[in-house]
């Protein structure tokens, strides 16, 4: 019961982990390459969610310096990190997609199983 209570209390973390598992699973088990890339993005985003959730302070305000110096701000560091993370993830996505287009040109398919069959025939 204690664990369950902990989960409900930290539901952001819980959801992030679930999304991570779904993403990884989809990425590793689906044969379609584009599906793999989408799942990769889901996986990455879920980790970012975890980061943002860690940085969140109950009742905190966005880290924009305003007139009130006493106000409670959230931790700005994870946010800054995730900005980098998103850029990196998008560039990996772009690269992976360009690869997929080339693979389609070379094999005529983007399905991993079909490619394995094609290569098996060679």
Partner 1 sequence: MVLADQLPVLIVITPLIGAFLAPLIYRRHEKASGYLVLLSLLLSVVMAVFLLIKVRRDGPYFYQMGNWPPPWGIEYVADPLRVFMLLVVVAISLWIFLFAIEDLQHELRRTVIGWYYALYLLLVASMAAITMTNDLFNLFVFMEICAITSCAIITVKEDRECLEAGFKYLILSAMGTGCFLLGVALLYMVTGQLNFGFLQQELTAAVINYPLNVFTAAALFIVAFGTKAALFPLHVWLPDAHASAPSPSSAMLSGLVIKIYAFSLFVIFYRVFPRSLLDSLPLSEIVLWLAAFGVMFGSVYAMLQTDLKKMLAYSSIGQIAFIFMGIGLDQRLALVGGLYHIAVHAITKAMLFMAAGAIIYATGVRRISDMNGIGRVMPLVLVAFTVGSASMIGIPGTGGLISKWYLALGALEIGRSLFVLVILLSSLLNAIYYMPIVINAFMSQDDFACQVKEVPKVLQSALVIGMIFVVITGIFSRPLTLLLEEAVTVFF
Partner 2 sequence: MTELLNILLLVFLIICAIGVAYIRDLLSAVILFSAFGLIMAIIWQQLSAPDVAMVEAALGTGVAALLMIAAISKTKRVE
Residues in touch with partner 1 (CB under 8 A): 13, 20, 23-24, 27-28, 33, 36, 40, 43-44, 47, 50-51, 54, 75, 77-78, 81, 84-85, 88, 91-92, 95-96, 99-100, 102-103, 106-107, 115, 119
Q: DSSP 3-state assignment of 5?
A: helix
| 62 binding partner (options partner 1, partner 2, none; Cβ < 5 to 8 Å by kind) | partner 2
Q: Which of 7, 90, 106, 116 binds partner 2 (CB under 8 A)?
A: 90
Residue count, binding to partner 2 (CB under 8 A): 50
Other beta carbons within 10 Å of 41: 17
What is the per-residue burial (b if ≥16 Cβ within 10 Å, else e) of 53-89?
Answer: bebeeeeeeeeeeeeeeeeeebeeebbeebeebeeeb
Q: How far is CA 3 from the centre of its chain?
A: 25
Choose between 61 and 107: whose C-beta lies nearer to partner 1. Answer: 107
Cα–Cα nearest to 32, from 91, 114, 120:
114
Q: Distance (Å, rounded) from C-alpha 93 to C-alpha 34?
A: 10
The residues of the shown chain that bind partner 2, judged by CB under 8 A, are: 11-12, 15, 18-19, 22-23, 25-26, 30, 32, 34-35, 37-39, 41-42, 45-46, 48-49, 52-53, 55-57, 60-63, 74, 78-79, 82-83, 86-87, 89-90, 93-94, 97-98, 100-101, 104, 109-111
């Amino acid at each position: 019961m204690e664990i369950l209570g902990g989960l409900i209390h930290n539901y952001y973390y819980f959801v992030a982990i679930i999304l991570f598992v779904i993403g990884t699973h989809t990425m590793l088990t689906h044969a379609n390459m584009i599906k793999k890339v989408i799942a990769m993005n889901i996986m990455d985003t879920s980790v970012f969610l975890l980061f943002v959730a860690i940085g969140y302070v109950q009742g905190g305000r966005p880290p924009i310096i305003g007139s009130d110096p006493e106000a409670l701000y959230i931790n700005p560091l994870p946010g800054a990190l995730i900005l980098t993370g998103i850029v990196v993830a998008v560039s990996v996505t772009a690269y992976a997609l360009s690869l997929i287009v080339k693979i389609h040109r070379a094999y005529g398919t983007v399905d991993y199983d079909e490619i394995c069959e094609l290569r098996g025939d060679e």
